[in-house]
Amino acid sequence: MRKIVQALTAFLLAFVAVIGIAFTDPSPAGATSVDPKTYLEKSGIKTQSNSTAGQNELIKDANSIMIVIYILSGFWILICFIYAGLKLSASQHNPQNRTAGLIGLAFAGIGAFVVFQAREIAGYIASLGM
């Protein structure tokens, strides 16, 4: 019974996909005939003539979000350092636990470097496209 339900479900999904593909108009003529300004005006959205004001607000919002992300990642990195340090100090000459603690400290350091240098890394990648 379960196989029949699975087969019917697969058939129904395939049928819906085929019908969706058959009735979709792939021509770009339908997309270019729509004027987005009229739809924006009808919905009550006002466009600004100066686009830099919107960009400045977006950058200000992104910077405030980045501060929150930096704080959360700082706490997370601190927890990783504490956990790896505790694992290293509790290894009691066990080479496997000592290695795990050292690797944990190393990866927490690498993670801290990546998190706090993410803005410079993104700027470097963005400058490659110019």
Q: What is the pLDDT of residue 9?
A: 82
Contact between residue 108 and residue 84 where contact means Cβ atoms under 8 Å apart: yes
Q: What is the pLDDT of residue 80?
A: 92
Question: How far is the first Cα of the chain from the last one, in angstroms, to the nearest whole number?
Answer: 60
Tell which wins on pLDDT, 33 or 70: 70
In this prediction, residue 78 has a pLDDT band, given cuts at 50, 70 and 90, of: very high
In this prediction, residue 51 has a pLDDT band, given cuts at 50, 70 and 90, of: low
- In the predicted model, what is the mean pLDDT of the chain? 78
How many CA atoms are closer than 13 Å to the CA of 66, on its beta-carbon side?
A: 12
Contact between residue 7 and residue 15 where contact means Cβ atoms under 8 Å apart: no
Ranges of each domain in the chain: 2-128
For residue 72, the SS3 value is helix
Question: In terms of DSSP H, where are the helices of 1-130?
Answer: 2-22, 29-32, 36-42, 51-89, 95-116, 118-128
Tell which wins on pLDDT, 125 or 50: 125
Residues 6+ apart with CB under 8 A from 115: 70, 73, 74, 77
Digit-coded pLDDT (tens) for 108-124: 999 999 888 887 877 77
